[in-house]
Structure 1
Amino acid sequence: MSSTIHLPLIDMSGVREGDKASIRRAADAIRTACCDIGFFYIINHGVPQAVIDRAMSAAGEFFAYPAEIKRQVAVNKRHRGWHALGGATMYEATKPDHKEFFSIGLELAEDDPSVLAGEALRGPNQWPQYMPSLREALSDYYQEIARAGADLLRVVAVGLGIDEDFFTDKYTKPLQRTQMVYYPPQPPQAEADQFGVAPHTDYGCITLLYQDNSGGLQVRELGSNRWIDATPIPGSLVVNVGDLLARWSNDRFRSTLHRVINTSGHERYSIATFYDLTYGATVDPCDLGIDPALSLYPPVAAGDYILKRIDDSMAYRKKQA
Structure 2
Amino acid sequence: MTVLNLPVVDFGPYLDPNSTAEQRQAVDQAIDKACRHLGVFILKNHGVPDELCNRMLDCIRRFIQLPDEEKRKCSVASKERGYVQSDLALVKGLRPPHENIAFYPPVNGFSNGLSPTVDPNSPDARLPTSPDALGMPDAWPSDEFRAQTEEYLEHMLQLKNRVHASIATSLGLGALSQKRFDDTIFASAFNGYRELTEAEVIDGGTNLPEHTDLGLLTFLSQDSDSTSLQVQDRDGKWYDVQPIPGAFVVNVGVMLNRWTAGQYHATVHRVIHRSKKPRISAAVFVDPFFDASIAPLSELTPAGKSCADQKAETFGKFSMDWYNSSEWPEY
| Per-residue deviation, 1:256 | 2.2
- For 1:37 and 1:27, locate their aligned partners in 2 and report how far apart those are by CA, in whole Å: 16
| Per-residue deviation, 1:306 | 2.2
Contact 1:155 1:164 in 2 (8 A): no
Instruction: Summarize the Cα distance change of 1:252–1:122 in structure 2 as closer, same or farther, 3 Å threshold.
Output: same
The aligned residue for residue 103 of structure 2 is 104
The aligned residue for residue 194 of structure 2 is 184
Asked if 1:162 corresponds to 2:173, the answer is yes
> What is the DSSP-based 3-state SS (H/G/I as helix, E as strand, rest coil) of the residue aligned with 1:210?
strand
- For 2:57 and 2:161, locate their aligned partners in 1 and report how far apart those are by CA, in whole Å: 22
- For 1:76 and 1:13, locate their aligned partners in 2 and report how far apart those are by CA, in whole Å: 42
Contact 2:78 2:135 in 1 (8 A): no
- For 1:113 and 1:21, locate their aligned partners in 2 and report how far apart those are by CA, in whole Å: 47
- Report % sequence identity: 26
> What is the DSSP-based 3-state SS (H/G/I as helix, E as strand, rest coil) of the residue aligned with 2:54?
helix
- For 2:181 and 2:212, locate their aligned partners in 1 and report how far apart those are by CA, in whole Å: 22
- For 2:314 and 2:65, locate their aligned partners in 1 and report how far apart those are by CA, in whole Å: 38
**C-alpha RMSD over aligned residues:** 3.0
Asked if 1:261 corresponds to 2:238, the answer is no
Contact 1:175 1:303 in 2 (8 A): no
Q: In the TM superposition, what whole-angstrom CA distance separates every residue of 1:161-192 from its partner, at most 9, and x where no partner exists?
A: 223783345544x3421111001111121143
The AA in structure 1 aligned to 2:158 is R
> What is the DSSP-based 3-state SS (H/G/I as helix, E as strand, rest coil) of the residue aligned with 2:42?
strand
Asked if 1:196 corresponds to 2:214, the answer is no
Instruction: Summarize the Cα distance change of 1:3–1:52 in structure 2 as closer, same or farther, 3 Å threshold.
Output: same
The AA in structure 1 aligned to 2:231 is V
Instruction: Summarize the Cα distance change of 1:230–1:167 in structure 2 as closer, same or farther, 3 Å threshold.
Output: farther
Q: In the TM superposition, what whole-angstrom CA distance separates every residue of 1:126-172 from its partner, at most 9, and x where no partner exists?
A: 112xx442111122112222221221111111121223783345544
- For 2:135 and 2:159, locate their aligned partners in 1 and report how far apart those are by CA, in whole Å: 22
Contact 1:87 1:314 in 2 (8 A): no
Asked if 1:8 corresponds to 2:21, the answer is no
| Per-residue deviation, 1:217 | 0.2
- For 2:193 and 2:211, locate their aligned partners in 1 and report how far apart those are by CA, in whole Å: 17
- For 1:15 and 1:204, locate their aligned partners in 2 and report how far apart those are by CA, in whole Å: 24
Q: Give me the TM-score of the superposition, normalised by structure 1.
A: 0.83
Instruction: Summarize the Cα distance change of 1:147–1:87 in structure 2 as closer, same or farther, 3 Å threshold.
Output: farther
Structure 1: which 5+ residue stretches go unaligned? 89-96, 317-321
| Per-residue deviation, 1:124 | 4.8
| Per-residue deviation, 1:122 | 8.0
Contact 1:220 1:226 in 2 (8 A): yes
Q: Which stretch shifts more, 75-84 or 136-145?
A: 75-84
